[in-house]
Structure 1
Amino acid sequence: MDKKEIEKSRFGALARGLKYGTAFLCIAFLFGAIYGLLVAEPFRPAFAMASFIGIFVLLNFLFSLLYGLVKTFVRLFRGQSLHGFRYLGISLGFALVFFLYFLGQKLLGFYYY
């Protein structure tokens, strides 16, 4: 694999992670809002659902970071494999989206749960 393909794979995985993370955030809001319509208060469950999903996304990022470190160590002694780095890139995209969501919640004071 040449250097261009490696860079394209890394940034492509990050771009996919940003796209999928945004979709997951929107879907979490939608499902929370649908549940909230049953009790006539759609915002509180929508924010709670997005926060609940976000906690697991950030935990997944920590595990993928650990996996990436182990994969880097193993890569020093064996051949090249980019599978673990794609997982890290997608997970980083998810983590960035949900980190920005939590940061926005903190700065704007939207604590509905």
Structure 2
Amino acid sequence: MIDEAGLRSMLAARLALSGADVVSMESVDPVRVGRLTAQSPTLVADAAAAARHPGGIAALAADRAWCRLVLIGAEPEGTSAPHVHHVRTEDPVASITALLDLSETQRSA
């Protein structure tokens, strides 16, 4: 859930090259998410998209569908759950790729 098209495209390409199954969506559709993967789904959202979600960041953080929630440019405000990660807007693609460490995950799977 990333509004900025360039960032969304770069992140999707980088994660796909790292072996991730990438799906882009404007809003969370629990039925679609459930059909997509039985593994550890990670939601990556920018601050604006997360704020538009019903209930905002708090609702996304509480949603058990996500094993990891990565928020780009959102200030940590009451979302100290261990599965919630905040990355700065400066080079978020590298930060998210490192955070997910997909190449290591794929090797150990």
Compute the TM-score of the two structures, normalised by the length of structure 2. Answer: 0.24
Bigger CA radius of gyration: 1
The TM-score normalised by the length of structure 1 is 0.23
Greater relative contact order: 1 or 2 (C-alpha under 8 angstroms, separation 6 or more)?
Answer: 1
Richer in strand (by share) = 2
Q: Higher helix share goes to which structure? A: 1
